[in-house]
Structure 1
Amino acid sequence: MIFKKNILPLLLLTVFLSACSDFVDIKTQGQLVPSQVDNYRYLLNNASELEYGPQFSSIASDDIELVDGSTQQQNLGSSDYYGWWGKVYTWQPEIYPLGNYQTDYSWNAMYNTIAYANTVIDEVMSSDGDESEKESLRAEAYVHRADAYLMLVNTYGKTYNASTADSDLGVPMVLSQTTSQSLVRASVKAVYEQIIKDLKNVIPYLPEKQVFNTLPSLPSAYGELARTYLYMDDYADANAYADSVLMYRNKLVDLASIDAVSTSTYPRGIHNPEILLLKIPYGGVLYPPTTLRLSDDLLSILGTTDQRYNLFTVPGNVVSSSYVAEDGRYFYLDYEMYEGRNIGPTVPEMYLIKAEYYARNGDPTGAMAWVNKLREKRFKPEDYVPMTATDASDALTKVINERRREFFGRMLRWWDMRRLAREGLYTKTLTRTFGGETYTLAPNSNRYVFPIPAYQIQLNPEIEQNPE
């Protein structure tokens, strides 16, 4: 079966651009037309269409915990508009049934990014302009496409397992802007191979730095490769690409020097020196009732002297006056900064990829050295205590816990839970109560893979659904 153009509604952008070509090929003095390279620069500058990632991951993870019967839970459970939230939180086999509000905006947004990227990839080299500029723009588009596919495959496909990746279901790969192609799901292995190919091929053409973090750079590509290899269990290559990132970008924000987060004390995402490529969850969770309430388990690991606790979380009454009686802490950095939380690759992520590499290679001292480089910037001087490990196993546990402290609310904990469960290193069975009903998630459950939205499968039956 061929690809129907309404499977991914936002992909109609490419159809529109092609259909209009007969009209816009008439050159008008002072106007941009598709044959001019500047037009593709403006297309890639459209961050609002290129920056979105999945909104499910943190909600489903063990970093988040609702009080059943609370004001927040009741608000989320009583509205069809928020129906998806409760279904994600309780790991339901169907999140978006057909009906009102039942389209998966995350899926649409990531494939829309791919549509934008494919437009540039397919067309920019035939436009009028400097060859090196065209190569650079095409390289940026490849990075955006690779990032979208990495997020898609880790949302709707199984975690990478070398022994089964060539048969595990990944996601449909749309590699050109034509609307007549198969949407049979590629294997997890094929998707990862495409991601790596896209990133490696464009490294020679990317600039070392960009004006804004929404624009891909050389460190962005290296960071995406480091993240990709980590989730393939290829720790040596992950470490090598983390090193490549740190040759160009290695600055950490010193949280010890900040007393309260605001737009005047903490860098905005577009300029934050830690962010290698700014990506945010579709829709965000800035405001009640979807603000992320942190689990007691996470808070016990985070601790109250950690600046990530003091600066990035708040008690319930700050979120809403109706949350006063519910206790707990809420992730609130995005609200204070008036922007979505970053889920793209970062400098701290590279530090902890290196730490994990050393831990997994029997060097607990090396692992803790990289963990402590990060932690020095996460505590007031009077609260900082260097971390040590008794052996490699202890070091790995501490690295994973540090990843949890650093990345809560930022998608990666869910990805880590998936890969660690497959390894047998995450053996917790999660239990949640929502609306008076109890739900459980066992390690290696099929519910660690989110379902393909029913609307897309209805339009394109060749897309196979994930098993329940």
Structure 2
Amino acid sequence: MKNIYIKAFCILTLGLTFASCNDYLDDAPKGSKIPTTLADYEAFLRDEYSNQSVDAAQALNLMNDKFIDIATLAAERLTKANYMWDETADRIDLKQSDERMYYGQYQGISTFNLIIENALTTTEATEDQKRIIWAEAKILRAMSYYNLVNFYADTYDASTAKTKLSVPLITSADVNAPSKQVTIQELYDFILNDVKEALPYLPKVSQTALHPNLGAGYAFNSRVYLQMSNYTEALKYANLALTENNRLYDWNAYYVANKTVIDLPNSYTNTPSPMGYDYVENYTYRHGASTSLSTEFSLPVERAQRFEAGDVRFKSRWKIRTVGVETYYRRTLSGMFNYGGITTVEIYLIKAECLARAGQISDALTSLNAVRKTRIQPSSYQDIVTTDRTVALNAIFKTKNNELILTLIPFADARRLNAEGVYKVSFSKVDNGTTYNLSSTSHLWTMPFPQGAVKNPGNGTITQNVAK
């Protein structure tokens, strides 16, 4: 793996190198500031573009959750392999360039390691203030490892988690720190322990949207336990998270307020995104895969058709457009989008799934319908009512996939459901008269490590988790 460095501390220019961050801190260049106060370290949490973004682009491609035009498919062979579900493609060979998911998450981890190592010994702060920053860095580090393990390793399965490898585990900010590619079980244990240690010190109110609060800690724990199919613990922490924040944004009100612009035929004038830093559903905020942070991705027609009739959240964000031979749903919002953090709607739907699996169908649908009422036009809305667990769960999965589209979560959920083997996820599409399929057992559900990481693993080793 390429050595991950913190640019404010370790400089590699004009042949000047430092063996480690610690060495550099002992001898800072003239004009540079050696971090000593808690505020110095806390500032790194605010570096949202480097440390707090989640680029799950290839997962979105595999899910066909974003529109890829003909020119891009011709130019980007890895994108085409995932988007067209080409099981014959050697994705390892195609992944010759660096990948933002891998290096971006490890850059954040290096920053969070630095804070965890130093926050408790900083100056100009109380012990309580130090513990808060330390705990926030623990949550953010755990979130980054969750993203990595659910992208580059097979999904969690209790029967194989102790033997299958995950990703390199690094707990030091030193650029020469040793790393070990631990098992999936070991990494999940590490993630859960980080959360356990952080929870007692997380504040109830965030300093900014980038700083995880107590609700974010509970919500993330619920997400992790759900991925482990531990529905009892996932429900427990979902309830705790909703006690901290249970607000849902009223997309019906947004649509009414912007209806004149949204419904204007053949107009793609952008309306403001409400899903930014102050979105009422935020537990914690992180950017997503788009390199243009002020816009979101457009959708394929086939994907757009899976939204529920009367969904004004969908209608407010995308509008059908034809350019040449290509028809797609063009994005129409501008602003910021919380694609890498955690929101209340995810936790409502985790709660709904856990309740349904426990046989509490009525309560599960209460949680599901609470979300739908804020999304579906009153003229189209009807409560989903059923006593059948499978019907209820499929409705929950559909809503969750639509609500969390363009995030890593639908990909992670599909992998979890495929491993379970009951509610398996597969896709089929027809393109230019040819039928393409993605089976629930395809090796494409696990992404290969970038070649640079395998060929240059730093102070450790990396074994590919897929054959191609």
Residue 157 of structure 2 corresponds to residue 161 of structure 1: yes
Confirm or deny that 1:18 pairs with 2:14: no
Q: How far 1:437 sits from its partner (Å)?
A: 8.3
Separation in 2, partners of 1:287, 1:137: 28
- Aligned-partner SS, 2:362: helix
Residues 1:302 and 1:86: Cα distance change in structure 2 (over 3 Å): same
Higher deviation after alignment, 140-149 or 373-382: 373-382
Report the TM-score, using the length of structure 1 for normalisation.
Answer: 0.85
Cα gap change, 1:425 to 1:292, in 2 (>3 Å): farther
Q: CA deviation at 1:12?
A: 6.6
Structure 2 distance, partners of 1:382, 1:432, is: 31
Alignment partner of 2:346 out of 346, 349, 358: 349
The percent identity for this pair of structures is 24
**Structure-1 residue corresponding to 2:57:** 55
Structure 2 residue runs without a partner (length 5+): 12-20, 263-268
1:365 to partner: Cα distance: 0.9
Separation (CA, whole Å) in 2 of partners of 1:292 and 1:266: 15
| CA positional deviation for 1:338 | 3.1
AA aligned to 2:352 is A
Q: Hey, what does 2:39 align to over in structure 1?
A: 38
The root-mean-square deviation of aligned C-alpha atoms, in Å, is: 2.9
Match of 2:80 among 86, 90, 95: 86
Task: Give the Cα–Cα distance (whole angstroms) in 2 for the partners of residues 228 and 405 of structure 1.
Answer: 20
Deviation for aligned residue 1:64: 4.8
User: Distance between the aligned counterparts of 1:437 and 1:21, measured in 2?
Assistant: 59
SS in 1 for 2:441: coil
Shift of residue 410, structure 1, vs aligned partner: 2.1
Query: In 2, distance between residues paired with 1:110 and 1:96?
Result: 22
Residue 299 (str. 1) matches residue 304 (str. 2): yes
CA distance in 1, matches of 2:403, 2:95: 37
Q: Post-superposition shift, 1:324?
A: 5.5
Distance 2:246 2:272 in 1: 20
Equivalent positions of 1:293-332 (< 5 A) are: 293-296=299-302, 298-317=303-322, 323=323, 325-330=325-330, 332=331
1:284, distance to aligned residue in structure 2 (A): 4.0
Name which of 353, 356, 361 aligns with 1:359: 356
Paired amino acid for 2:316: L
- 1:274 aligns to what? 281
Amino acid at match of 1:89: Y
| Structure 2 partner of 1:320 | none
Q: Deviations over 1:51-103 (max 9, x none)?
A: 1113222221154566xxxxx12x10333xx444223324554266475xx11
- Counterpart code for 2:53: Y
Equivalent in the alignment of 1:190: 186
- Corresponding residue of 2:116: 121
Letter in structure 2 aligned against 1:450: M
Give the gaps of 5 or more residues in structure 1.
1-5, 67-71, 318-322
Query: What secondary structure, in the 3-state scheme, does the structure 2 residue paired with 1:276 have?
Result: strand
Equivalent residue of 2:455, what SS? helix
Work out whether residues 9 and 25 of structure 2, in 8 Å CA contact, stay in contact via their aligned partners in 1: no
The equivalences for 1:327-406 within 5 A come to: 327-330=327-330, 332=331, 336-406=333-403
8 Å contact kept, 1:208–1:248: yes
Is the alpha carbon distance of 1:272 and 1:93 closer, same or farther for their aligned partners in structure 2, counting shifts above 3 Å?
A: farther
- Conserved? CA contact 1:14–1:115, under 8 Å: no
Residues in 1 aligned to 2:353 and 2:220: alpha-carbon distance in whole angstroms: 17
Residue type of the partner of 1:291?
F
Structure 2 matches for 1:247-262, cutoff 5 A? 247-259=243-255, 260=258
**Residues 21-43 of structure 1: CA distance to partner in whole angstroms, max 9, x if unpaired?**
234599x9xx9641222101212
Does structure 1 retain, via aligned residues, the 8 Å contact 2:73–2:80?
A: yes
Native 8 Å contact 2:142 2:191 kept in 1: yes
Tell me how far 1:432 sits from its aligned partner: 5.8
Q: 1:409 aligns with which of 401, 406, 409?
A: 406
Q: Which residue of 2 aligns with 1:69?
A: none
Opposite residue 358 of structure 1, the aligned amino acid is L
Q: Match for residue 16 of structure 2?
A: none
2: CA distance between counterparts of 1:294 and 1:52?
24
Structure-1 separation of matches of 2:368 and 2:208: 28
Q: In the TM superposition, what is the alpha-carbon distance from 1:245 to its structure 2 partner?
A: 0.9
Which runs of at least 4 in structure 1 moved beyond 6 Å after TM superposition?
A: 261-264, 285-288, 433-438
Partner SS, residue 258 of structure 1? helix
In structure 2, do the counterparts of structure 1 residues 434 and 153 end up closer, same or farther at CA, with 3 Å as the change threshold?
farther
**Distance (Å, rounded) in 1 between the aligned partners of 2:289 and 2:93:** 15
Please, what TM-score do these two structures have when normalized by structure 2?
A: 0.85
